[in-house]
Structure 1
Amino acid sequence: MAGEALVPTKRWLAATSAGSAMRDAVAGLVLSILLVPQAMAYAQLAGLPPQMGLFAALTPPLLYLFFGTSPFVSVGPVALVSLVIGEAVGNTGLAPEVGAAIIAIEAGVLLLLLGGFGLGRLVNFISEPVLLGFTAAAAFLIAASQLPTLLGIDAARAGDLPTALSGLWAGLSELRPTTALIGGAALIALLFANRYAAAILWKMGVKPPFRLALAKSLPLLVIVIAGWIALSLRGANVPTVQSIEGGLPSPFTSFVTLSDWIGLLPSALAVAVIIFVTATAVAKALAGEDRSKLDTSREAVALGAANVSAALTGGYAVGASLSRSALVRDSGGRTPLASAIASLAIVAVLFFLAPLLSYLPRTALAALVISAVFGLIDLREMRAVWRHDRMEGVIILAAFLATLAFGVRLGLAVGALLGLAYFLWFSSVPRVTRVGTDDGGTSFRSIERDDVELTTLPALVVRIDRSIYFANAAYIEEELFNRLSRHEGVTSLVLDMSAVNDIDASGVAMLRRSVQRLKSQGIALHFAEVHEPIAASLTSLDSQVCRFHRTVGQAVEEGCGVYLQTEIAPT
């Protein structure tokens, strides 16, 4: 029901017990160890001050607690959204902080409208192949955007791969060897930790949840060590993050013109789509086999409220992180209270550790971003899609190349349009196949695909393997009469309608034309296994020509011969 998702729920609070609260507290503290450096690194990716990343991690988990439906989802700064924000605000004359806040508010409002009107299922219109190609390309763009920072090069932000690589090439003469060495060492250490830390700790006998806590604290440890090395090499002038003001953020009070809001609306729409699609994918991935409790409309409302609140409290657009959400689950978290506790840890950092954060080298944060984006590339799933359908594999490649060439916003649009175009083409050319039987009419199978002979003549049995609508009605009509033209002496056409789940006005009109053509040729039309709603739509067909039967066997055995001889025998 429209508007139902806008009502807060006490579901998670009601499910909380002393035991689950303790597990959530442990999971929240483990999560905060990873969240602090990631929030700062993703803000840097977006071209924003690092404290905006920390601010963006404060209120969104609280909003998700009251509106969300997944027990594990961690809402906060994410790499993909940060990349889009950086690309969008870099093309405006606004201050980056203001532009990012406006995009977050607009994206949040769009998500609230989407969920409020119960339109959460619209997420299904972006296909899995499109997402695979898009996110893989985004990983390359994110890495390319962070390479200059990793190497100590000052380069303009770029939204596509050719521009990013040309800017990197042009700035190689300004490379800072010490900065590049620290960043490269940090990247290698982070990749090693991500791949082997948990296994090494397991072999050392470290028990859960301490094993997971130690493994996930290594990125923070790497960045702190990189900061200590950079501080000890004062003469190397390694760039560090901007100084962070302690305490809570100030509310958003900037006022800009209406044209600025309108100009940023396309970027906000892209951000809203990316947030919703990726967050839904994360929630479904962590739900396992039981997805019955996930409500996509409520998820949209939760994400919308989280983004508006993030913007109003000094942050920028947020999404759901797969790595952090999986960490909550693996750490023993049972409700979104774990993410809320992590946000409280962020408050403690802002009050007590803010001055120390300014010593962290930017190159180490860039290494953290690069090491994190490898999870966006799912080669195993891409291979599975390619084996299933080569055309969908081509869509993966097209979305990948379009995103690299044109940037995230246009790449996603191109991929989505290609996915929809493929769906429309695929549904416009349904399989219309002749079927026969080799067991006396108990079952009927395609003679084109199976080793079955056509033994029903002079009754020709044809199965339509898709719903009939305006885009495929003419094709189905043409294929039906093509099948009839292959056989002489056909006296009845049996349509197996078991796979037809819907039919629109164009489909009914096509069948009406077909009935008249068949009548003129002295051929009866028998429908078999018609779903009741479809049968109701076909009541306007000529009853002198058409008959309906429960099964294909009954249509062949009971209706065809008698009906032809008594009703429409040719003159």
Structure 2
Amino acid sequence: MAGKALIPRFGWLSSYGGGGLLKDGIAGLILSILLVPQAMAYAQLAGLPPQMGLFAAMTPPLLYAIFGTSNYVSVGPVALVSLIVAEASSGAPGGEAMSVVAIIAIQAGLILLLVGALGLGRLVNFVSEPALLGFTAAAAFLIAASQLPTMLGLDTERAGNLPAALGALWQELPQTSIPTALIGGAALIALLVLNRLAAPLLWKMGVFPPWRQAVAKSLPLLVIVAAALVAASYGDAVSTVQAIEPGLPSLPSFGTPDLWLSLAPSSVAVAIVVFVTATAVAKSLAGTDRSHLDTSREAVALGAGNIVAALTGGYAVGASLSRSALVEESGARSPISSVVAAAVVLATMLFLAPLLAFLPQTALAALVISAVFGLIKLGEMKSIWRHDRLEGIIVAIAFLATLMLGVRLGLAIGAGVSVAHFLWFSSVPRVTRIGSDDGGRSFRSVDRDDVEIITLPVLGIRIDRSIYFANAEYVEERIFKLIGRHDDDGVSCIVLDMRSVNGVDASGVAMLRRLAERLERAEMTVHFAEVHAPVLEKLKVLDPAVCQYHRTVAEAVNSCGVDLNDMRDDTAGVWPR
């Protein structure tokens, strides 16, 4: 029902107790260990002051706890969204850049609220898995390329595509700061090793959940602190993050209508990325407790979170898979765990803000690079290539388009190619002759299976997809082409197996009416078999004197004067053999 997703969800509070609060408190503390440095690092990726990342990590979890449907999803700054924000705000003056990021968050939030309020959460399914895999893999390369100059101590202009980013890096490479590069390189190696080996080693050492994850996720923070201690000995030779300004955030300037219009494509890209990735995260974590995932509610929660983030000094946010998985493994029972983590972020800003200014930018860049390797899912790409070469090509197109043209155009091209593939796939349905090898017990395609047509002069034809305006003419052409292959067999009756036809639109009904009339003029009758009830309701407008309907293909064949009982062979096996 439209608008239902706007009603806050507090049902989970009815069964909430002290034990749940304790577990959520522990999970929230563990989450905050990862959230604080990630929020600052992703703000750096977006080209924003570090406090904007921390502000973005504080208020959105509150909105998700009210409207969201997952107990584990961690909402806050994420790499993909930060990259899109960086691309949109690059080149804007300092003051205008703040307006840009606020407008993007608000527009993306309004889009998501509209999708959720109208109950259109299923729109997430229109971005195909192949397109998303190619897009996210390319985005990982772009994110890494954007952070390499920072890790090497270089000041280069932000580029929206890989060739431009590598070109700018190459020009400035002689200016590399050796201390910065060494600290960043050592931090990156340490982070990669810890990401891969820390959890298994802790398990072997007898450290089990939730403490295993608490320790494992504390180690990257220790790496960054160690990097800060080393960087302090080099003084100004190693750049540190911008000092966090004390006090509450101020409301951003909302710019002009022209600015809002110019940022609409970026906002749509953010909304799509946030919705698709957050839904995927929630789905991946929903199975363990059999929780119900409502994609419309997810859209409302994410939309409200983005709007509030913009109004409280942050920028556009999404759902983090790594942080959400950490919440689940830490034993969280409800969204309160993310609220606890947000409270820790607030306490960090109030009491530890001066210490955060000692963190080296190169270490945060290394943290971002180490985190994006999870976006490259080679195993899933190989699986898609083995499943369908054409879908594998979609992965490649989305990947190359994103690398060469940037995230906004890359996402648009990937989604467009996916939709084009769907339209082409659905516009050329399989229309095949059917026969039997078990005396009429079952009917299967004679083109794919080792069966024969045993019903002549009755010809059975199966349509393997719903019939609508884009494929109706193709279906009609295929049926007459198949009939033409039996000109010498005296075909007098056509049986259409409709078991795979789940829907027929007005164009499809018009085509079937025209088909029946043409066959009548050719002195052939049409018999529909195994028609689904909703489809049958629409086909009742056809002339009953020309068209007949039957529960099974065998009944339709018998009604045409061919007795299948005479063809039954008791020794024949029932498919599959």
TM above 0.5, one fold?
Answer: yes
Q: Hey, what's the Cα distance between the residues in 1 that align with 2:92 and 2:179? A: 34
Asked whether 1:267 is paired with 2:245, we answer: no
Q: Which deviates more, 437-446 or 323-332?
A: 437-446
Task: Tell me if the contact between 2:121 and 2:299 (Cα under 8 Å) persists in the aligned partners.
Answer: yes
Task: Tell me if the contact between 2:106 and 2:307 (Cα under 8 Å) persists in the aligned partners.
Answer: yes
Q: Any gaps of 5 or more consecutive residues in structure 2?
A: 564-577
Deviation of 1:173 after TM superposition, in Å, equals 1.4
Deviation of 1:92 after TM superposition, in Å, equals 3.6
Q: Hey, what's the Cα distance between the residues in 1 that align with 2:92 and 2:4? A: 37
Please name the residue that 1:495 is paired with: 496
Please name the residue that 2:308 is paired with: 309
Please name the residue that 2:292 is paired with: 293
Q: Hey, what's the Cα distance between the residues in 2 that align with 1:355 and 1:346? A: 14
Please name the residue that 1:565 is paired with: none
Task: Tell me if the contact between 2:458 and 2:560 (Cα under 8 Å) persists in the aligned partners.
Answer: no
Please name the residue that 2:531 is paired with: 530
Please name the residue that 1:181 is paired with: 182
Deviation of 1:560 after TM superposition, in Å, equals 4.4
Task: Tell me if the contact between 2:211 and 2:330 (Cα under 8 Å) persists in the aligned partners.
Answer: no
Please name the residue that 2:352 is paired with: 353
Deviation of 1:291 after TM superposition, in Å, equals 6.2
Task: Tell me if the contact between 1:67 and 1:301 (Cα under 8 Å) persists in the aligned partners.
Answer: yes
Q: Hey, what's the Cα distance between the residues in 1 that align with 2:532 and 2:208? A: 57
Asked whether 1:390 is paired with 2:389, we answer: yes
Task: Tell me if the contact between 1:120 and 1:296 (Cα under 8 Å) persists in the aligned partners.
Answer: yes
Please name the residue that 2:456 is paired with: 457
Task: Tell me if the contact between 1:12 and 1:65 (Cα under 8 Å) persists in the aligned partners.
Answer: no
Question: TM-score, structure 1 length as denominator?
Answer: 0.96
Please name the residue that 2:553 is paired with: 552
What pairs up with 1:182-261 in 2 under 5 angstroms? 182-234=183-235, 237-247=237-247, 249-261=248-260
- Letter of the structure 2 residue corresponding to residue 198 of structure 1: A
Q: Hey, what's the Cα distance between the residues in 2 that align with 1:290 and 1:65? A: 17
Q: Hey, what's the Cα distance between the residues in 1 that align with 2:83 and 2:316? A: 11
Please name the residue that 1:567 is paired with: none
Deviation of 1:95 after TM superposition, in Å, equals 2.9
Deviation of 1:205 after TM superposition, in Å, equals 2.1
Task: Tell me if the contact between 1:492 and 1:560 (Cα under 8 Å) persists in the aligned partners.
Answer: no
What pairs up with 1:81-230 in 2 under 5 angstroms? 81-93=81-93, 95-230=96-231
Please name the residue that 2:57 is paired with: 57
Task: Tell me if the contact between 2:131 and 2:394 (Cα under 8 Å) persists in the aligned partners.
Answer: yes
Question: TM-score, structure 2 length as denominator?
Answer: 0.95
Q: Hey, what's the Cα distance between the residues in 2 that align with 1:522 and 1:254? A: 75
Deviation of 1:290 after TM superposition, in Å, equals 6.9
- Letter of the structure 1 residue corresponding to residue 422 of structure 2: F
Q: Percent identity?
A: 65
- Letter of the structure 1 residue corresponding to residue 239 of structure 2: P
Q: Which deviates more, 316-325 or 381-390?
A: 381-390
- Letter of the structure 1 residue corresponding to residue 11 of structure 2: R
Deviation of 1:185 after TM superposition, in Å, equals 0.3
Q: Hey, what's the Cα distance between the residues in 2 that align with 1:240 and 1:169? A: 23
Deviation of 1:11 after TM superposition, in Å, equals 2.2
Q: Secondary structure at the match of 1:256?
A: coil
Asked whether 1:73 is paired with 2:73, we answer: yes
CA pair 30-289 structure 1, distance change in 2 beyond 3 A = closer
Q: Hey, what's the Cα distance between the residues in 2 that align with 1:201 and 1:210? A: 9
- Letter of the structure 2 residue corresponding to residue 2 of structure 1: A
Q: Secondary structure at the match of 2:263?
A: helix
Deviation of 1:98 after TM superposition, in Å, equals 2.2
Q: Residues 273-314 of structure 1: CA distance to partner in whole angstroms, max 9, x if unpaired?
A: 111111011101111277661111110100011011111111
Task: Tell me if the contact between 1:246 and 1:355 (Cα under 8 Å) persists in the aligned partners.
Answer: no
Q: Hey, what's the Cα distance between the residues in 2 that align with 1:547 and 1:210? A: 69
Q: CA RMSD in A?
A: 1.3
Q: Hey, what's the Cα distance between the residues in 2 that align with 1:139 and 1:420? A: 24
Q: Which deviates more, 275-284 or 200-209?
A: 200-209
Q: Which deviates more, 318-327 or 117-126?
A: 117-126
Task: Tell me if the contact between 2:70 and 2:291 (Cα under 8 Å) persists in the aligned partners.
Answer: no
Task: Tell me if the contact between 2:102 and 2:254 (Cα under 8 Å) persists in the aligned partners.
Answer: no
Q: Hey, what's the Cα distance between the residues in 2 that align with 1:561 and 1:452? A: 18
What pairs up with 1:333-372 in 2 under 5 angstroms? 333-372=332-371
Q: Residues 455-495 of structure 1: CA distance to partner in whole angstroms, max 9, x if unpaired?
A: 11111101000000011011100100111111121111100
Q: Which deviates more, 86-95 or 18-27?
A: 86-95
Please name the residue that 1:32 is paired with: 32
Q: Hey, what's the Cα distance between the residues in 2 that align with 1:368 and 1:198? A: 17
Q: Residues 512-550 of structure 1: CA distance to partner in whole angstroms, max 9, x if unpaired?
A: 111111111111111000111211211222322211110
Please name the residue that 2:574 is paired with: none
What pairs up with 1:387-536 in 2 under 5 angstroms? 387-487=386-486, 488=488, 489-536=490-537
Q: Hey, what's the Cα distance between the residues in 1 that align with 2:108 and 2:444? A: 50
Deviation of 1:91 after TM superposition, in Å, equals 4.3
CA pair 137-560 structure 1, distance change in 2 beyond 3 A = farther
Q: Hey, what's the Cα distance between the residues in 2 that align with 1:238 and 1:358? A: 12
Q: Secondary structure at the match of 1:95?
A: helix
Q: Secondary structure at the match of 1:461?
A: strand
Q: Secondary structure at the match of 2:123?
A: helix
Task: Tell me if the contact between 2:463 and 2:500 (Cα under 8 Å) persists in the aligned partners.
Answer: yes
Q: Residues 225-271 of structure 1: CA distance to partner in whole angstroms, max 9, x if unpaired?
A: 00000001226x10110001245x32414242222222212211111
Task: Tell me if the contact between 1:284 and 1:291 (Cα under 8 Å) persists in the aligned partners.
Answer: no
Number of aligned residue pairs: 560
What pairs up with 1:553-568 in 2 under 5 angstroms? 553-560=554-561
Task: Tell me if the contact between 1:112 and 1:304 (Cα under 8 Å) persists in the aligned partners.
Answer: yes
Q: Hey, what's the Cα distance between the residues in 2 that align with 1:423 and 1:127? A: 9
Task: Tell me if the contact between 1:245 and 1:355 (Cα under 8 Å) persists in the aligned partners.
Answer: no
Task: Tell me if the contact between 2:435 and 2:445 (Cα under 8 Å) persists in the aligned partners.
Answer: yes
Task: Tell me if the contact between 2:525 and 2:547 (Cα under 8 Å) persists in the aligned partners.
Answer: yes
Q: Hey, what's the Cα distance between the residues in 2 that align with 1:429 and 1:360? A: 58
- Letter of the structure 2 residue corresponding to residue 408 of structure 1: V
- Letter of the structure 2 residue corresponding to residue 152 of structure 1: G
Please name the residue that 2:372 is paired with: 373
Q: Which deviates more, 72-81 or 117-126?
A: 117-126
CA pair 264-92 structure 1, distance change in 2 beyond 3 A = farther
Q: Residues 84-111 of structure 1: CA distance to partner in whole angstroms, max 9, x if unpaired?
A: 0000011444532221111111111111
- Letter of the structure 1 residue corresponding to residue 185 of structure 2: G
Deviation of 1:12 after TM superposition, in Å, equals 2.9
